[in-house]
Amino acid sequence: MTGPGAGGVARQARGDVAVDELKDAPVTVVGTGVSGAAAARALLRLGARVTVVDAGDGPPAQAAAAELRAAGAAVQLGGLPTAVGAARLVVTSPGVPPGTPLFAAARAAGVPVWGEIELGWRIRPAARWLAITGTNGKTTTTEMLGAILTAAGRRAATAGNIGTPVVTAALAEPPYDTLAVELSSFQLHYTETAVPVAAAILNVAPDHLDWHGGPDGYAADKARIWMHPATIAVGNADDPGSAALLAAAPGRRVTFGLDPATAEVTVVDGWLVDRAFGGGPLVAVADLLAGPRPDGSAQGGSAQGAPGPGRHLVANALAAAALARADGVEPAAIASALAAYRPGAHRNALVTTVDGVRYVDDSKATNPHAAAASLTAYPSVVWIAGGLNKGLAFDELVELAAGRLRAVVLIGRCADEIAAALARHAPDVPMERAAGMDDAVEAAARLARAGDTVLLAPAAASMDMFRDYAERGDLFAAAAGRRGQVGAAPGVVPPGGQSRGG
């Protein structure tokens, strides 16, 4: 991959290809999932001769392969080729590691390797993108921004890591006015030429280190969202990782955050205020936090000194507002959209209350940084944790949460790693292990007392036991719901529920 700042000369040396040159050209697409399938269909519309390859050959891959073959693509399952063959271009799904032999062979042959995001940008390079990345909070912030753009009367969509695949949005007719684009570190790694109007890095904490080769590689891929000087860089003054990357951004730099002494889009006297783009007061914090707190009391007050979950939701709203103002959205649209917004399912979602015990689904907490935001929201927690670790340590998380833990129930492949951290930092906290989600909820219910919160905040990925984080959360909600009458609907969240991802 060419690093940030590398220009057209390097791309030409690799044998770069223009989108209008793809008619009748052989192209290899890696992956039959949502991103790969969307890229393959877009390339077929462009007239390319498409071969889709996938290392898997299970039922989902077989079903996708049948649809792609019907659309005109050749499909090979059960392994990736190690040679690039006749392909003039390789387009990869974002989760495929950069060390894959096919990519090395492509580079050696001078064949470019793009991600689906890169392909989407090249299809419609004049598109207006407002882009968002970060370790946590991406989805919530992107959803907020999409709601703002719609309230402003724009033909808009959320795209990228959520919503519509970027290649699909790029081919939409009539074209979208603006896209709110969520970008993971995987997607950014394979993106080279995209130029968002403005882009935010919400926060940077260790995640996906096994894929990126370490924290420096992970942060560097996040920083690619700001690689072009024409992009307004929106950074979090409250997050050291985001602030450090912002200091090196080549374009205009704008800060958001809860401290008005350090941030331009911030909170003053209980209001979200834009001091970067002249928008002034935008919306009252009390209107953002209209839902109940974790203790059931009414929400309100300013973000300064607000409880942990409120602070996270306010920070997400500040980032969305900053991006919207960077693209000229009027304050009234921002106010109406943010006042009406409610985060989605699996993000600190209260699913039921039984015998005074609240059951909260935060399955989207797929890393320790995200789980910390959940654990600090509740005074007494029976924590269901574990899954597929991504090369991360749990000591800091356990040490932070130790005083709030009534008990812990461990599931998944990294149960031993969390158990070891508990032994070091919370040795007196009762701990049990469970073979599946039903067992975990049963154990948690037995350990909980009235006033406690049984919290699914796994701090790890889901794929060792479940299809994805949504299935994990759905199974938790179903098991909890069987214990009594369901209270709040999934998706009705304590303030601060946020997206968790790469």
Mean pLDDT of 169-194: 95
| Integer angstrom CA distances of residue 74 from 27, 46, 54, 120 | 10, 16, 12, 21
Q: Is 486 domain-assigned? A: no
Q: Is 489 domain-assigned? A: no
Both 336 and 353 in one domain: the answer is no
Q: Residue 64: which CATH number?
A: 3.40.50.720
Model confidence band, residue 344 (pLDDT cutoffs 50, 70, 90): confident
Does residue 114 register a pLDDT over 70?
A: yes
Q: What is the pLDDT of residue 214?
A: 67
Question: Is 266 assigned a ligand-binding role in the annotation?
Answer: no
The residues, any chain, with a CB within 8 Å of residue 307's CB and separated by 6 or more, are 293, 294, 377
Mean pLDDT of the chain: 87
Question: Is 138 assigned a ligand-binding role in the annotation?
Answer: yes
Both 370 and 243 in one domain: the answer is no
Question: Is 136 assigned a ligand-binding role in the annotation?
Answer: yes
Q: Which candidate, 319, 250, 314, places its Cα nearest to that of 285?
A: 314
Mean pLDDT of 224-243: 97
Q: Residue 164: which CATH number?
A: 3.40.1190.10
Q: What is the pLDDT of residue 392?
A: 84
Q: Is 499 domain-assigned? A: no
How do strand 381-385 and strand 453-456 relate by DSSP bridges?
parallel
Both 335 and 477 in one domain: the answer is no
Q: Is 434 domain-assigned? A: yes
**What is the C-alpha to C-alpha distance for residues 220 and 244, in angstroms, rounded to an integer?**
11
Helix ranges (H only) for 20-97 are: 34-45, 59-71
Each residue's pLDDT tens digit, 464-497: 999 899 999 999 999 999 987 443 333 333 333 3
Both 189 and 301 in one domain: the answer is yes
Mean pLDDT of 3-28: 64
Domain carrying residue 68? 8-116
Helix ranges (H only) for 191-273 are: 209-212, 215-223, 240-246
Listing from the earlier edge strand, what are the strands of the sheet with 74-77? 74-77, 49-54, 26-30, 89-92, 113-115
Both 174 and 233 in one domain: the answer is yes
Both 289 and 390 in one domain: the answer is no
**What is the C-alpha to C-alpha distance for residues 493 and 360, in angstroms, rounded to an integer?**
9
- Which of the two residues, 246 and 341, has the higher pLDDT score? 246
Q: Which candidate, 123, 101, 14, 20, places its Cα nearest to that of 53?
A: 101
| Integer angstrom CA distances of residue 272 from 55, 185, 302, 304, 403 | 48, 29, 9, 11, 32
Both 97 and 135 in one domain: the answer is no
Model confidence band, residue 501 (pLDDT cutoffs 50, 70, 90): very low
Each residue's pLDDT tens digit, 371-392: 987 898 889 999 999 999 977 8
Both 196 and 275 in one domain: the answer is yes
* Residue 388 in tokens: 């597929």
- pTM value is 0.76
Does residue 309 register a pLDDT over 70?
A: no
Contact between residue 314 and residue 282 where contact means Cβ atoms under 8 Å apart: no
Q: Is 465 domain-assigned? A: yes
* Residue 467 in tokens: 């299809």
* Residue 36 in tokens: 């790969």
Q: Which candidate, 133, 125, 130, places its Cα nearest to that of 175?
A: 125
Mean pLDDT of 116-127: 95
Q: Is 422 domain-assigned? A: yes
Maximum distance among all alpha carbons in the chain?
67
Both 359 and 432 in one domain: the answer is yes
* Residue 502 in tokens: 């790469």
Q: Which candidate, 241, 210, 225, 17, places its Cα nearest to that of 95?
A: 210
Q: Is 501 domain-assigned? A: no
Q: Residue 421: which CATH number?
A: 3.90.190.20
* Residue 450 in tokens: 């009235």
Q: Quote the percentage of the chain above a pLDDT of 70.
A: 87
Q: Is 457 domain-assigned? A: yes
Structural domains of the chain, count: 3
Question: Is 135 assigned a ligand-binding role in the annotation?
Answer: yes
Both 99 and 136 in one domain: the answer is no
The residues, any chain, with a CB within 8 Å of residue 493's CB and separated by 6 or more, are 291, 342, 343, 347, 348, 349, 350
